[in-house]
Amino acid sequence: MQVARAIDELISMLVEFGPGNDRLCNPWVDCHPALDLPDAPARRVANLRGYLRAHRRAKWMLVGQEAGYAGCRFSGVPFTGEDLLEGPKALPIFVRAGARRSSARDKLMSERSANFVWPCIGGDGKVVLWNSLPFHCHEPGKPLTNRAWTPRDDRGGLAEKILRHMVEKVMPGARRIAVGRKAEQTLERLGYDAVAVRHPSQGGATICRNQMAEILGKR
């Protein structure tokens, strides 16, 4: 019951962060008329709640940088494309939770980093995924792009409070893995220990995969 309450509080914090702007999308609030189904935010809220409940006993928390446009922006779950929620590539953990797509496109959104990360962590619920800034940052006026988050995206520390709640209330027993320098520096600044791994982009995929295998004991 305590974890369920913490998850509900986390989702409330995400919603209370408010709508985005021309540089940021809040997946659990925003609904773009040309990109999203009418009930898209509610679908993404339900997806995230089911995902976190299924991972309430996770031993590791893998922390990335920010939500990607082809992943969490439409699925509501970090490092996860819609093609992992529905269709032939859907993962059992999402099928059991009744996760649903939210984009208005004919084709399910698929994210490169999601298709890299999930084979590394497996679908047994032992690794929960999150981002140092949970929202999707994009180039001004270009919602289907990605950019690195900056302090101005944090809105006076609101996103930092969300990360603290995730670490201390939702997953207090999970050990942390930071993917990339941004995530490592953010966790370090907040006083949290983390094992750092190479970001898989720009030629780092093999190194990251090997580091993850060693950390998670999958070799």
CA 192/CA 137 separation, integer angstroms? 24
DSSP structure string for 68-108: -TTTHHHHSSTT--GGGTSSTT--HHHHHHT----B-SSSP
Overall number of domains in the chain:
1
Domain with 50, as residue range(s), is 2-216
Q: What is the CATH number of the domain that holds 180?
A: 3.40.470.10
> What does pTM read for this prediction?
0.95
Per-residue pLDDT of the chain (219 residues; tens, 9 = 90+): 699 999 999 999 999 999 999 999 999 999 999 999 999 999 999 999 999 999 999 999 999 999 999 999 999 999 999 999 999 999 999 999 999 999 999 999 999 999 999 999 998 999 999 999 999 999 999 999 999 999 999 998 999 999 999 999 999 999 999 998 999 999 999 999 999 999 888 788 999 999 999 999 864
